[in-house]
Each structure stands twice: as C-alpha cells, then as structure tokens.
C-alpha cells in the first residue's frame, strides 16, 4: 500500500516538474468542471473502467500515471471501521485503527439538534481523514416503517422532515473535511428480511412524501457527493441500477452531480448497470454477491464485461464518459483536493460522543420523581441485566467498530457513584448473547453463564429486596435477529425472557428503573408496573459515562423519540394493513411487499386510526418542567412565522424542543391529521423565558400530486400546532394560505 502511494506521489511530482505550468486538472484554483474536462480525455479506456469499480474490498483504483491516488471507502456512519484484508472481510490486524465509537444514528436523531449533527459529522470526518479514508458509507436515512427492521438503529426515525433536518448538517460537517458522505440506502430499504429479493410496491405519493425527502435534502441542501443504491427492488428493478430512482428522480429531477455507488454486491446485470444510473460498483467475490473466485474485481459488471460491450460497439462511449466524469468530480472534491490531516481519538471527539448521547437519551417515564438518583437517599443500588456489562460497539453488521475504549454502563455508574459512598451491586438476571466478535474484532469479554434462568432471577430478586433503588439494563443487542444487519427481529417482545425478570423485580422493589438499550422500540407489557423508564440507545465509546450522567442528573435529559413507540405490533401500519415482510412469488425468488398504508407511517397512522402509542413520536421528559404561552402567527402569502414563549418553570436548567405540526383543515385529497414541519431546541435556566420562532413556507403546506408529478399547496385554512410531542400540542394557531 505504501509503495503504491509513493509511486503515485512520484508520478505526480514528475508530471508537475516536466510541465511548463501545473496541469489544469491539478490546479485547485480552477473550477472543478474545467479540471474534469481537462482530465477526462487524458484517460485510456482501461483507466476509465478501472476507476468505476472496486480493486479491493473497500477501494477503487486511481491512475498512478497521472498522479491520481487510490480511492478509499469505509463503513462508518457511527465511527471509522477497522481496516480489513485486501479481499476479505476479516480485519487486517492493524494496531493503529481503533476509533471513537459515536452514538448510533437513532440517538443522534433523538437529540432533535441539527447543530450537534454537524459536530458529529465534523468529528467523524476528522477521524476519517487521519485514517486516510475518502468516503464514509453513511449516513443512513431509510424510514422507520416497522420496529422489526434489524437496521433501524443506523437510521434517523420515522419522520421525513426530522430525518431531513438532521442529515443535512451531518453531511455538511463530514464533507467540510474533504471526506465524501455516501447517503444510504437509496431507497425503500426498510427491512432486512430478504433484502436482496424484496420488490417494494408503493404509490408515488408515499414515495415522494415519506421515503424520499431525507435523500432529497441530503442531495439538494446537504450537497452530498455520493449516494448508495439499496439491495432491494422497486418496479422490479434492483435499486443499484434502477431507471426511475437513479436516472429520472435522482439525477434529472434533483440535479445530483455526484456518484451512485452500489451497495456491496448490489449490482446484478451489466446492461442495467450501464444504462440505469450506477457509477461505481463495489462488492465481493466474482459477481459481487455470491461466492466465487477471489480478487475477481475485473469480472465485475462494470469491468471486463463492460469493456467487451464497448469494443463490440453495443454500448456508447458517451455513457461511460458520463460515469467517469462523475467519479472524477468526486476525486476533485476528495483525493485531488488539499484537505486537513485530521485527528484520531481526541478529547474533542470523545466530548462530541458524550454530548450526542446526553442530548439523545430519552426519559420516557418518571413517576414519583424517582430519577435522578439521589446519593443521599439511594445508598444501595442494584444493577440487573446483561446490557449493563456487554460491549455494544462490536457487532450488528457493517457499522461494527473497533473502539479505542468502551465504558460499560455498570462501570460508568460505579465510577460516578462510589465516590459518594454509594454501593453499586450487580446481578446478571438473564443470559442473552455472551459472544462478542465480528469480522475478527473481538470484545475480549467472557459473558458465559450456565446458571438456569430461575437461579438468575432468584438472585436478582433477593438482592433487589435489600436495595434502595434497582436499575434494570436490558433491551436488544447486536446479535442476529436483534438490532443487526442482514436479519429483522422475529417479534416485538424483549428477547431472552427479560419481561419475566422485570416483572419479578417490580414485585420485589417499588423503586425500579428500566433502561432499555436498543435502536428499536420493544413491547412493554410491564410498563405500568415500572415507575421510571429510560431509552438508552447504542451510545458508543462513552456509553457508561453518558448514561450515568443522565441517571444521576449531571445532565438533564432532553432527548425526544424519533419514532412512535407502539403499544402492540399491530398498532404499526406495516403490520396492520401492510403485508410485511411481503409474499414470495410462485416459482421465483422475489418477495413482493405492498406498502398499503401509503403515507400513513408512524404517528400519521396512529392519528388516522385514533390509536394511542405507549410513547408518542417526539415524546421525552426532563428533570425540570416547561410551559408554553403567548402563541401567535404572523405573515401572509404563504410565508408565516409562528412564535411561542417557552418558560422553564422548574428548578433545574434544561432543554426543551418546540415542535410545530401543520394541519390542512380542508383538502381535496386525503391528508394526515398533522405533520411535523418545524422544530427548535432551546436551553433555559430555571425561571427563564424565551420567545421561539419557527418559519412556515409554502412547501410546508404542500402534498405530492401523483397525477401532476409535482408538489401542490392548495389555498385554504391551515392550523399550526405547537407543543412538545405529537400527542402534546396545546397551542393551535389558524392561518389562511
């Protein structure tokens, strides 16, 4: 690798030295398009083909003759993944590729804070630069359609507006370091079950209103330089080479000037890959998907098979040049740009991880003010549950990391409380997944415990009877059929019979806190028996520190749910009226999945059917209290401003999220009862008040007219609803458009 880079640098220096002036394509003072136009004709056919497909597991070739370095990609929406072997998934065994593991994107979305999303992107970009990575394969913005989706923890929730607002600053922050974002998985990749063979059937209105807005925002507002096609099919075409999605919508309608990257093994046909919008092909083995010859990258669909068609005159050279032009444009923005050196595992990055976690952890329930922990009252604390001692940075699929360190929840609590004289005891409670390995990265933990479930529960109950406070830390993990790539959850219940443990603890001690660590909602039939519930997410390197600070009250929780937490799985539209996970075609390995719920996803469906969730979209409590008053709306001709005064009426400093939803009072088409169209997070000292303003523009009043293929805002009466959750909107302001 070092020899290859040295050769590239030598070639570049010789080229510059032998020229009277710097070649146009290397002159960064010139416009990118001028540089691309200069470089394109310098490439041979083989060089053009080489840069549009992989040369190793995570890289594509540069052009050493012209001083163009190898292009390196990396999995890492939550951190920069460890290096792997050239042609294998197993790690390369490097000792300098440990990273900061940032909280999962569900936690980032739960902050409802675009400013911290930018910090997340910048910190990740700095780590990527230090590691020599040119593209991070992320972030993900697929919609949370069902809580069974194994990959929901990598995405940003159920609402297209929230996801749009959070993805844009992440992309801008990452790309400010000269590291390309690669938005994934475009699109409709909303379940992992049969992900390679699922053909999604969805109406155009739902497609444009629910499933595409976050991708569109990443492209048009965030300026994303790359986007990754999904594994599944739409209109019976795989989404890594899909005419409607890639050519018609992405490139023509949205004006995307970047690169479409295949998911690893997502290409299936040379002709479609050539003509239906794919620009760079990545994957494994011979055809990128199934096993075959190693180091078979020249056999990829966009490699020798493409060359053969070109030589036979069956496909146009202009089509190849358009792909190459896009890749060269990407290089001008990354490998051929002057970029910062970056930094790795810095104090600033760990602080970002802690801050994201602190703002994203959601206090779901807090009866009797049981939280925060009071060291004066809670002298003996019992922690129960495997997730208190299990590392979560390893596993779950391509977002698995090799973290420099990971502070476990139990350790974080002990470090914070034992200095105050508090005793923190532990009981296992249940055994879930004692393993800890992914692609050669191991946690080094031994969590094996052969005791019977009855013995584990009895031990926990006996200790609970003598504790001042019991904290159960369970939920999901990153094992197969949990929060993990490649498979969906098998049901909505907590795994490993955790419900039985929680119910036994609730009978033994009335002061019970449940901390659910997961990227998904879970069934909580025991919810009314438990006075305090916290949603802890996968919090990365600083998990234990961050959870302890919230539980003790050093940080005041301000996270809000980025999805609806259903009471029962049947309350979710995908399971109530949809046909998740689809129906297998007779004599064909394709699953047709109908999104029969259309635009009614999440809280939109709950409003329509008048079902109450366990916890609503946007819900999240605080250790202080807030009041809203003096709501008003001003403006005309579709441009309005809604204002409200927010007051911290409690005894602690804290942050509240003002949420604005729009209702179309009378429409010619069926519309949701309300839709999120604005939000602002405000931090207030005790007794402090602040006026919060949120602008309303005509696009916020629009729906997608499938018959006209455009967005339409109909004149009439609207209501702006303001509050702190989708089920808590006390202020209603009428206005006319």
Return the percentage of the chain with pLDDT > 70, whole number: 96
Which residues partner with 360 through β-bridges?
none
The model carries a pTM of: 0.95
Summarised one tens digit per residue, pLDDT across range 421-446 is 999 999 999 999 998 998 889 999 99
**Contact residues for 96 (Cβ-Cβ < 8 A; gap 6+):** none
Which pLDDT does position 292 carry in this prediction? Answer: 63
* Reported confidence tier of residue 89, pLDDT bands at 50, 70, 90: confident
How many Å from the N-terminal Cα to the C-terminal Cα in the chain?
61
Q: Indicate if the pLDDT at residue 187 is higher than 70.
A: yes
Q: How far apart are CA 218 and CA 225, in angstroms?
A: 9
Task: Report DSSP state, residue 479.
Answer: S
Place of tokens 């055994």: 431
Angle between helix axes 114-130 and 160-175 (nearest 10 degrees) is: 40
| Helical (H) or strand (E) element with 631 | strand 626-636
| Helical (H) or strand (E) element with 366 | strand 362-366
Residue-range domains of the chain with CATH: 347-566 (3.40.50.1700), 624-736 (2.60.40.10)
Which pLDDT does position 638 carry in this prediction? Answer: 78
**Contact residues for 556 (Cβ-Cβ < 8 A; gap 6+):** 622, 623, 624, 652, 653, 654, 655
Strands 423-427 and 380-384: parallel
Compute the average pLDDT of residues 141-161: 98
Which pLDDT does position 272 carry in this prediction? Answer: 97
- Two tokens at 146? 């069902």
| Helical (H) or strand (E) element with 73 | strand 71-75
Q: Which of 15-19, 84-88, 708-712 has the lowest mean pLDDT?
A: 15-19
Summarised one tens digit per residue, pLDDT across range 288-304 is 555 666 778 999 999 99
Compute the average pLDDT of residues 119-124: 98
* Reported confidence tier of residue 633, pLDDT bands at 50, 70, 90: very high
Which pLDDT does position 291 carry in this prediction? Answer: 61
Which pLDDT does position 21 carry in this prediction? Answer: 73
Q: How would you classify residue 217: left for phi > 0, otherwise alpha for psi between -120 and 50, otherwise beta?
A: alpha
Helix locations, 19-87, DSSP H: 32-39, 45-50
Nearest to 684 by CA among 651, 657, 647, 645: 647
75 an active-site residue?
no
Q: Indicate if the pLDDT at residue 102 is higher than 70.
A: yes
- Two tokens at 735? 């206005």
Summarised one tens digit per residue, pLDDT across range 576-623 is 999 999 999 999 999 999 999 999 999 999 999 999 999 999 999 999
Q: Which of 213-222, 278-287, 643-652 has the lowest mean pLDDT?
A: 278-287
Q: Indicate if the pLDDT at residue 231 is higher than 90.
A: yes
Summarised one tens digit per residue, pLDDT across range 370-397 is 999 999 999 999 999 999 999 999 999 9
Which pLDDT does position 290 carry in this prediction? Answer: 59
- Two tokens at 43? 């490439």
* Reported confidence tier of residue 91, pLDDT bands at 50, 70, 90: confident
Q: How far apart are CA 71 and CA 295, in angstroms?
A: 17
Which pLDDT does position 714 carry in this prediction? Answer: 95
Compute the average pLDDT of residues 30-55: 97
DSSP string, 492-525: SSPSTTHHHHHHHHHHH-S-EEEEEESSS----T
Which residues partner with 437 through β-bridges?
442
Q: Indicate if the pLDDT at residue 17 is higher than 80.
A: no
* Reported confidence tier of residue 19, pLDDT bands at 50, 70, 90: very low
Q: How far apart are CA 623 and CA 621, in angstroms?
A: 7
Q: Indicate if the pLDDT at residue 281 is higher than 70.
A: yes
Q: How far apart are CA 300 and CA 306, in angstroms?
A: 9
Inter-CA distances, 488 with 72, 150, 152, 484, 491, Å: 30, 4, 10, 7, 9
* Reported confidence tier of residue 22, pLDDT bands at 50, 70, 90: confident
Compute the average pLDDT of residues 652-661: 98
Summarised one tens digit per residue, pLDDT across range 344-373 is 999 999 999 999 999 999 999 999 999 999
DSSP string, 552-612: HTSS------SS-B-SSGGGSHHHHTS-TT-EEPTTSS-EEEE-TTTT--THHHHHHHTPP
Q: Indicate if the pLDDT at residue 636 is higher than 50.
A: yes
- Two tokens at 411? 């350790």
**Contact residues for 366 (Cβ-Cβ < 8 A; gap 6+):** 531, 532, 621, 623
In sign, the C-alpha dihedral spanning 728, 731, 735, 737 is: negative
SS (H, E, C) 237-292: EECCCCHHHHHHHHHHHCCCCCEEECCCCCCCCHHHHHHCCCCEECCCCCCCCCCC
Q: Let me know: does 120 contact 102? Beta carbons within 8 Å.
A: yes
| Helical (H) or strand (E) element with 662 | strand 654-664
Q: How far apart are CA 655 and CA 685, in angstroms?
A: 9
Q: Let me know: does 365 contact 151? Beta carbons within 8 Å.
A: no
Largest CA distance in the chain: 84
Average pLDDT across the chain, whole number: 95
- Among candidate residues 74, 97, 134, 263, the one labeled active-site is 263
Compute the average pLDDT of residues 239-260: 98
Which pLDDT does position 1 carry in this prediction? Answer: 47
Return the percentage of the chain with pLDDT > 90, whole number: 91
């Amino acid at each position: 690798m070092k020899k290859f880079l040295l050769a590239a640098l030598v070639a570049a220096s010789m080229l510059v030295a032998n020229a009277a002036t710097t070649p146009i394509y290397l002159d960064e003072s010139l416009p990118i398009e001028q540089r691309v136009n200069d470089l394109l004709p310098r490439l041979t056919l083989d060089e053009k083909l080489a840069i549009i497909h992989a040369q190793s597991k995570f890289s594509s070739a540069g052009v050493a003759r012209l001083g163009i370095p190898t292009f390196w990609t990396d999995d890492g929406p939550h951190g920069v993944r460890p290096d792997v072997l050239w042609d294998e998934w197993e790690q390369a065994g490097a000792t300098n590729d440990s990273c900061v593991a940032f909280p999962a994107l569900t936690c980032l979305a739960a902050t409802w804070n675009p400013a911290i999303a930018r910090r997340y992107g910048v910190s990740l970009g700095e780590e990527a630069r230090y590691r020599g990575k040119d593209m991070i394969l992320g972030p993900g913005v697929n919609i949370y359609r069902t809580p069974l989706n194994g990959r929901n923890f990598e995405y940003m929730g159920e609402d297209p507006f929230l996801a749009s607002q959070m993805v844009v600053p992440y992309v801008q922050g990452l790309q400010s370091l000269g590291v390309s974002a690669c938005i994934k998985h475009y699109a409709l990749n909303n379940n992992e079950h049969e992900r390679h063979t699922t053909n999604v059937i969805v109406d155009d209105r739902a497609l444009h209103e629910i499933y595409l807005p976050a991708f569109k925002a990443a492209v048009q507002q965030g300026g994303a330089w790359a986007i990754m096609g999904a594994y599944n099919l739409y209109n019976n075409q795989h989404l890594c080479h899909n005419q409607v999605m890639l050519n018609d919508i992405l490139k023509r309608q949205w004006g995307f000037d970047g690169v479409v990257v295949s998911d690893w093994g997502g290409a299936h046909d040379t002709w479609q890959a050539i003509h239906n919008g794919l620009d760079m092909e990545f994957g494994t083995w011979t055809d990128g998907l199934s096993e075959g010859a190693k180091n078979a990258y020249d056999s990829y669909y966009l490699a020798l098979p493409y060359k053969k068609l070109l030589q036979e005159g069956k496909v146009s050279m202009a089509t190849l040049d358009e792909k190459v032009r896009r890749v060269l444009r990407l290089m001008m923005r990354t490998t051929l740009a002057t970029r910062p050196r970056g930094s790795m595992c810095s104090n600033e990055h760990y602080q970002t991880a802690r801050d994201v976690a602190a703002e994203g952890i959601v206090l779901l329930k807090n009866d009797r003010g049981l939280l925060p922990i009071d060291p004066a009252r809670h002298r003996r604390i019992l922690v129960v549950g495997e997730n208190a001692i299990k590392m979560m940075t390893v596993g779950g699929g391509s977002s698995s990391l090799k973290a420099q360190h990971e502070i476990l929840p139990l350790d974080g609590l002990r470090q914070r409380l034992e200095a105050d004289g508090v005793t923190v005891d532990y009981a296992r409670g249940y055994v879930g997944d004692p393993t800890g390995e992914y692609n050669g990265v191991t946690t080094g933990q031994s969590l094996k415990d052969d005791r019977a479930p009855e013995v584990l529960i009895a031990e926990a109950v006996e200790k609970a009877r003598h504790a001042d406070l019991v904290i159960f830390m369970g939920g999901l993990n990153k094992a197969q059929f949990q929060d993990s790539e490649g498979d969906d959850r098998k049901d909505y219940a907590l795994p490993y019979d955790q419900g039985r443990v929680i119910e036994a603890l609730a009978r033994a001690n009335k002061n019970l806190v449940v901390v659910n660590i997961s990227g998904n909602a879970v069934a909580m039939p025991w919810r009314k028996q438990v006075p305090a519930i916290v949603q802890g997410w996968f919090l990365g390197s600083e998990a234990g520190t961050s959870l302890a600070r919230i539980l003790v009250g050093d940080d005041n929780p301000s996270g809000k749910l980025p999805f609806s937490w259903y009471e029962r799985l049947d309350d979710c539209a995908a399971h109530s009226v949809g046909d998740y996970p689809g129906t297998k075609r007779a004599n064909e390995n394709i699953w047709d999945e109908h999104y029969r719920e259309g635009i009614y996803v999440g809280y939109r469906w709950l409003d329509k059917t008048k079902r109450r969730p366990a916890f609503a979209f946007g819900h999240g409590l605080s250790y202080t209290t807030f009041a809203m008053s003096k709501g008003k709306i001003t403006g005309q001709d579709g441009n309005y401003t809604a204002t409200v005064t927010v007051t911290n009426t409690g005894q602690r400093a804290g942050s509240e999220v003002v949420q604005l939803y729009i209702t179309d009072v009378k429409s010619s088409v069926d519309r949701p009862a309300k839709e999120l169209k604005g939000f602002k997070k405000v931090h207030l000292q005790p007794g402090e008040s602040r006026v919060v303003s949120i602008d309303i523009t005509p696009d916020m009043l629009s729906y997608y007219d499938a018959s006209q293929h455009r967005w339409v805002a109909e004149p009439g009466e609207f209501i702006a609803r303001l509050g702190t959750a989708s089920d808590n909107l006390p202020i209603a302001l009428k206005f006319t458009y």
